[in-house]
Each structure stands twice: as C-alpha cells, then as structure tokens.
Chain A
Amino acid sequence: MRRALALLLALPLAAQVPYERILRAGAEPGSWLTYSGRYDGQRFSPLDQITAANVAKLRPAWVYQTQDLNKFEVSPLVVDGVMYISEPPNRASALDARTGRPLWQYNRYVPNDVRPCCGRVNRGLAILGETLYMGTLDSHLVALDARTGKLRWAVPVADYRLGYSITVAPLVVKDKVIVGVAGGEYGIRGFIDAYDAATGRRDWRFYTAAGSGEFGVETWAGESWKTGGAATWITGSFDPELNLIYWGTGNPGPDYNGDDREGDNLFANSVVALDASTGQRKWHFQFTPHDVHDWDSNHVPVLFDDNIRGSARKLIAMANRNAFYYVLDRATGEFIAGVPYARQTWAKGLDDKGRPIRLPNTLPTKEGAVVYPGLHGGTNWFSPTYSPLTKLFYVAAREEGTLFFKEKADYQPGRWFSAGGIRGLPGIEPSGAIRALESTTGKLAWEFPLRSPPWAGLMSTAGGLVFGGSSEGWLMALDASSGKLLWRFHCGAPIFAAPNSYLDQGKQHVAVAAGNALFTFALD
C-alpha cells in the first residue's frame, strides 16, 4: 500500500489551475502558469538555486525535438510536473517535465491558404482549471482537455481568408480567455477579444483601429480605419487590483505609406488599458503616432511599482520597437519618462507628454530613406524582463538601420497590403546587445554586446542572473548586476523564444526553445 501510494505520488498530477492559483503565481515559483510567468509581465523567476556562483555547472537535462521546421517560439507552461507547449504550426503537446517524453499531442488541421506574415508559428498556451487554450493560424480559439489533449471546443475569432491569424499565447483573466490577432500586413482591423473560458462565447471585443462612433475614429482619414491594422499578436499583462488588462498594438495599414490614412491612427502602435470585465478602454498611450516604419508596439507590457519623485507609483514600462524606452503610470497612462535605448535617427526626442518630435527626411520615399531603428526595430516582440531585486529592466536590443521605400498599394481582401518595402544597408554589419536599464529612468546600467541582432527574449531570476539568447544559437547566463557572461551553451540553431524557469523534482530548471527543439537545463 505504501509502495503504491509512493508510485501514485511520483506520477504527474492532473492540472488543477483555478484563477486564484494564477493570481498567486508568485507564491509558487516552481510553476510557470502564464506566458510571462505571472500577470505582471516581468518574466522574473523567484527561484534562486541557480546563482552566479554555480551557474557554470548548468547542464542539459533533456531535449525535446519537434517534427516541424517552422520557427519554434513557444514559452512553455509548467504545472504539477507537466510541461505544456505549442509547436508549429498548431500542435499542442503535454510533456513529462522530468524526461521530456510526450504524454499527449493534439494537432489542429491548418488550411494551406492561411496567411501568417512571418512564418507558421505559435507562441504558447494558456491554462485555466483543466483546460488549455490555443489560438490557431486559421484564427480560431481552441480549448483542450489538459489531461488528454482532446478538443473541448473551437470557436472562430476572425476570418483567416481576410488575412487574420493567431500566433499569440492567450491570457486567462478570471473566467475569460483574452486573445489578439495578427495580420497587420493584410489590411485587417485589429482587436482584442475576451471569450468565456467555459463555453467559448465571446464576452467582449475592443477594436484597436477605432471605427464609426468610437473614440479615435477622427484620427483616421475617411474610412481608412476599416483596413487600419493595429494587430495584437503579443500577450498582454494584467493588474488584478486595477482590474485592467494592458496590451500592445501593431502598425497601422498599409505600412510605409500613410497618405491614405492621415491622422494619428489610434490605437495603432500603442498600449491600451482595458477594463477586464467589459473591455472598455480606461486609457491608451500611443508611442508612434501615424507610423510609417512598421514599428509595431507588440511587446509584453512590464508592470512594476516604484517611487517617482518621492511618491509610490504603479508603473508600466515598455522598450518600444521605435527605440525609445517608456515609463508610464499604469492607473492613468500618464507619461513619466522616455529615452532612447538603441540607436535612433527619426526623432529629436519626446515632448512632455511623451509624443515624439519627428526629424525631417525620415519618412519612406520612392528613392529610399535610411532610418534607425530599421524595420525590425530597436527591439521586437521577444520578451524583456524586470528584476525586482536589481530594479533593472533588461531588453535585447537590435542595432540595424533600414532603407525604407514608399510605394502605392490598393487594398484587396485577404491580400498583402503593404505600400512600400525595405532594404538592408550595404556594407554595414548589424549587431545587437542585451542592455540593462534603470527601470524608472531608462538610463543604461550595462550592456552585453551581441554580434547578430537578437530574436530571443530574456528572463531574470532571484539567483541574480539574466538568461538570454542569440541568433547564432547561444543560450547565455549573465550577471544581473554587471552583465558579465557567466555561462553559455550552444543550442545549434537560432533562438526565437524566451527562457523560463521552474522546479522539477525539487530542482530548478531553465527551459528554452531553440531551432526545432526545446532544451531544459539543471545543475549537475
């Protein structure tokens, strides 16, 4: 009997993740319950077994190979001994966290004519109770039984034939599943949706390209909002006390040429704060009004608290694709600070409301205009991290200029809708860096240079480390205070994902997707 009980306890337990557990995720650092780990978007692990002193002994624990050659961008969930991942194009898998052996797999048929702009990818799952949620390339939200991988329901979010797709990991808030869409290069009209987690019924929708009768419609010439883009393809954050969801929005459509959409184009290139119960907008902040450089603000909003000029404030920070780092008040959206963190040649600076002061000759032209940051931005969708221990904000920055061209484009439903193009700059080798910024000011604390512009996200830990990756395939551990390189492992292929950390068998592990495999590491 005792033996049987021990055997039972050794088996992975069924996932039971009520909302209260996600709410208190900070109290169980051994789990990883949302895309960013917790609602605050910090991608900080309170685990401290792996430290600057022993990280040199970090070794691979197991490697899981996907069967698909598309980019592998997942951030895994880890619950009660089981790791839940999505694999490209739209497979969900449950892996035994101890060995990496699959427990079940679910495949969604993906039609041939789906239109993701940049690869058939998916960034992860959300969990509530015993149900997992995944967005699909054909713009559905599917709910899976976390014990078996069997489909519970699937509901259409949008018509993929019009260029909508879903690559974002959903976010569960209370009894709702929040999800966004991609398709900013197809003339879609972006939105953020909330679905009833039990039934899949839609509870609310917030359009990120403001339309008729809505606040902000006057910032779009004519009916240009109908194809205005402002996609929502990176997971947002949530403040339970304020009951606000924070979500970044993408470029207005068409890219590169704003002549047919005069105005600021709200709420493109913004962060919006929405009431979690109703989807009503509480505030918004637009980083790049009337964007013509494809500088999506599809970033994870990082929530933290600190003192500003002597008074305690609830803050939100974003290192934006437009190369500026911003600090806002997350209750009101008030602009507090903003400075460049990567090379930029397009703005003289920000005014006292945080609006950029554009420099002349930086708009795309027929002949081409050189601008820093380039198309891919000073950073991109990959996660930043914030450590409450160092109070530093860490970002993987890209140093890469682009020649931007302006053309004409006519909208045709479901077709590529981009009025221009780009070229790299000949003779200039792009590079990158992992940078640590003082979180309330954006002042540079340290940087670790990267030879290639990065596509990997970052994670900080209570062990005083920052984990990050390179496009060459290195997974690295840096000293969170100094940026000193303490450990490195070559995964053999570029990293397009962010690391996370969890406990298995009581030991701290670090996981990251690289190439077409998921790597996990633990101390010897």
Chain B
Amino acid sequence: MRWLWLLYPLAAFAQPNTGEQLYVKNCAACHGDKGQGGRGTVLATPRLKFANDEDSLIYVIRRGIPGTEMPPAPLNDDEIRQVAGWVRKLMDSAPRPAVSEAAVRGQKLYQTRGGCAKCHSIWGEGGVLGPDLTDVGLRRTPAYLRTAVADPAADIPENFIQYRWVINIPDNFLIVRLTTRDGRKLIASRINEDSVSIQVRDQEGRLYSFFKDELAELHKDWGASPMPRFRGVFTDAELDDVAAYLVSLRGNR
C-alpha cells in the first residue's frame, strides 16, 4: 500500500458497503460522523456550496474540489452513489437556521469595534490577510467559530501537506519572519511554500516571492495566529453575538 487517500477514523468497519459505512470510513475524519464538520465543511446543512444537485454532488465526491482540501474519493461509481445518498440524508437532518437578533448585533460588532474587515472579506468586501468568511457558517461549526474569535491560536487548522499530490492550495495562514541576503526583514503571512521558494503577504497586503537561496533567515511561528485574541475585547455575550453572525454567513445574499 503506497498511501491512503483520507484520514481513516478510529472505528472498525469490516464491511464498508453501505452509504453510511463508506461515509464514516472515507469522509468522517474531516466532515464529522454526523456531517457536523471539522477540518472539512459541514454537510448537515441545507445547502452545499459546491454541490447543488445530485449530479454535482456525485461529481465532487468522484473528482474532489480542486483548490480546496477536498480530494477525490477512492470509490467506485456504485459506492459514490451510496455515499451521495447518505450525504443527502445528512443534509436533510439539518435544522433550518433563522436570522437571529444576536446575528444582527454580531454584524455590528464585526463592522465596528472588531475591525474584522481589515483582514477578512465577505462577498469581496474587506481585507485578504485572513480567510474569506463569505460562507464560513457553512464550513465551520458554531463552537469552532466562537473559539476562533475568542482565542484564534487555540485551534489552528492543520495544513494538508500530506495530500499535496491532489491538493495544490495555499497553506494555512502561518506567520513567517524572514531576512533577505541583502538585509531586508519582513514579517508576513505564508501563502505557499515549496522546496526552493516561498510566497508571502505582508500586513499591508503586498505580495512577495523569494527563492530560498535569496534568504538569509526563514523563521516560522508555528502555533501562533496572526489574528488578535478577542477574549477580553468582547464580553462573553458579545462573543456569542459575533459567533452568531459568522454562523449566519452561509453564502446567501
């Protein structure tokens, strides 16, 4: 065996032949046992960004989604149909969210005291230092989103370097400190890196590309997040409101 397509879950399934079992074996490590999401997008939701009908859902499972963490599934056509059937069940199980007053209050905090748009964009409005949030409510759980605001370093998504042969995407938003051979210093966010080069973006959003032999020093701040902590800036109630606003961002205009 040369490699595994996906992270395998702990549970044993001797006969991975129903949609649910195939799902748990192949999909759950990222999307959660009940489709609640995790490193992968939430599937227990009425609408999926990349799959708005059965054909596109099957296509996405078969081919993966280039430019995202989603790899192609190592399954045959029959198995893919079964998995797709189970995913539709998970989608049907999702509660329909209502726009809450909390979300309205959260939006206000996002736009004012939070200053979130300095680094994050929604529908193309805002900065690009941090992840785009247009449909973050589809892709992340409410609990994760609250933590991500209160204490961003508490749960930094893993990068997917093990899967680079199918996923050619920017890495996570790792902060690097580098010094060029001619003495320039830069603190920036890593966009991509390989064996001979690195691409970064600085705090003003300027893009830089270096070959490594042009650098005297390259330091990576593992475990640190470029985002400030908002615990202490927002009250617990305000954190709930901001999280509610983020949950409401589901790619709907």
Partner-B contacts on A (CB < 8 A): 69, 71, 112-113, 117-119, 184-185, 250-251, 255, 294, 296, 366, 368, 375-376, 380-381, 400, 405, 407-410, 412, 415-416, 418-419, 421-424, 426-427, 429-430, 449-453, 455, 470-474, 476, 485, 488, 493-494, 496
Would you call A494 and B8 a contact (CB within 8 A)? Answer: no
A410 to B15, CA, bound (A): 8
Would you call B196 and A485 a contact (CB within 8 A)? Answer: yes
Expressed in whole angstroms, the minimum distance between the Cβ of B75 and any Cβ of chain A is: 11
Would you call B4 and A422 a contact (CB within 8 A)? Answer: yes
Apart from A427-B222, A429-B159, A452-B161, 12 more pairs, CB < 8 Å: A118-B3, A184-B1, A380-B3, A405-B8, A412-B14, A412-B15, A427-B223, A429-B161, A450-B195, A451-B194, A455-B165, A474-B194
Closest to A257 in B: B12
Expressed in whole angstroms, the minimum distance between the Cβ of B212 and any Cβ of chain A is: 9
* Interface residue? B193 (CB, 8 A): yes
* Interface residue? B9 (CB, 8 A): yes
Would you call B1 and A185 a contact (CB within 8 A)? Answer: yes
Q: Which residues of B contact A427 (CB under 8 A)?
A: 158, 222-223
Q: Which residues of A contact B3 (CB under 8 A)?
A: 118, 375-376, 380
A419 to B7, CA, bound (A): 15
Closest to A167 in B: B2
Would you call A423 and B2 a contact (CB within 8 A)? Answer: no
A520 to B79, CA, bound (A): 39
A474 to B211, CA, bound (A): 12
Would you call B7 and A424 a contact (CB within 8 A)? Answer: yes
Closest to B220 in A: A429
- What are 19 residue pairs bridging A and B, where the CB atoms are less than 8 Å apart in the complex? A117-B74, A375-B1, A376-B2, A400-B162, A405-B8, A410-B15, A415-B17, A421-B9, A422-B7, A423-B8, A426-B158, A427-B223, A429-B159, A451-B194, A453-B161, A472-B164, A474-B194, A474-B195, A494-B165
Q: Which residues of A contact B193 (CB under 8 A)?
A: 451
* Interface residue? B76 (CB, 8 A): yes
Closest to A231 in B: B1
A166 to B14, CA, bound (A): 25
Would you call A418 and B1 a contact (CB within 8 A)? Answer: yes
Q: Which residues of A contact B164 (CB under 8 A)?
A: 452, 471-472, 494
Query: Which residue of A294, A430, A471, A496 has the most chain B CB atoms within 10 A of its CB atom?
Result: A471
Closest to A405 in B: B10
Would you call B2 and A118 a contact (CB within 8 A)? Answer: yes
Q: Which residues of B contact A493 (CB under 8 A)?
A: 168
Q: Which residues of B contact A380 (CB under 8 A)?
A: 2-3
Expressed in whole angstroms, the minimum distance between the Cβ of A458 and any Cβ of chain B is: 14
Q: Which residues of A contact B8 (CB under 8 A)?
A: 405, 421-423
* Interface residue? B16 (CB, 8 A): yes
B residues 198-243 in Cβ contact with A at 8 Å: 213, 222-223
Contacts A430-B161, A470-B195, A488-B196 given; indicate if A408 touches B12 (C-beta within 8 A): yes
Q: Which residues of B contact A400 (CB under 8 A)?
A: 162
* Interface residue? B29 (CB, 8 A): yes
A52 to B56, CA, bound (A): 50
Expressed in whole angstroms, the minimum distance between the Cβ of B174 and any Cβ of chain A is: 9
Would you call B1 and A251 a contact (CB within 8 A)? Answer: yes
Expressed in whole angstroms, the minimum distance between the Cβ of A411 and any Cβ of chain B is: 9
| Across the A-B interface, the 7 shortest Cβ-Cβ residue pairs | A421-B8, A472-B194, A407-B12, A494-B165, A450-B195, A451-B195, A118-B2
Would you call A416 and B76 a contact (CB within 8 A)? Answer: no
* Interface residue? B125 (CB, 8 A): no
Expressed in whole angstroms, the minimum distance between the Cβ of A449 and any Cβ of chain B is: 7
* Interface residue? B77 (CB, 8 A): yes
Expressed in whole angstroms, the minimum distance between the Cβ of A341 and any Cβ of chain B is: 19
Q: Which residues of B contact A113 (CB under 8 A)?
A: 76
B residues 148-171 in Cβ contact with A at 8 Å: 158-159, 161-162, 164-165, 168
Contacts A118-B3, A427-B158 given; indicate if A476 touches B196 (C-beta within 8 A): yes
Chain B 1-29 interface 0/1 with A at a Cβ cutoff of 8 Å (1 = within): 11111011110101111000000000001
Q: Which residues of A contact B196 (CB under 8 A)?
A: 470, 474, 476, 485, 488
Expressed in whole angstroms, the minimum distance between the Cβ of B165 and any Cβ of chain A is: 4
A493 to B194, CA, bound (A): 12
Would you call B12 and A409 a contact (CB within 8 A)? Answer: yes
A271 to B158, CA, bound (A): 37
Would you call A117 and B76 a contact (CB within 8 A)? Answer: no
A416 to B75, CA, bound (A): 11
Closest to A121 in B: B2
A416 to B16, CA, bound (A): 8
Contacts A375-B3, A427-B222, A485-B196 given; indicate if A112 touches B76 (C-beta within 8 A): yes
A496 to B165, CA, bound (A): 8
A118 to B168, CA, bound (A): 19
Q: Which residues of A contact B29 (CB under 8 A)?
A: 423
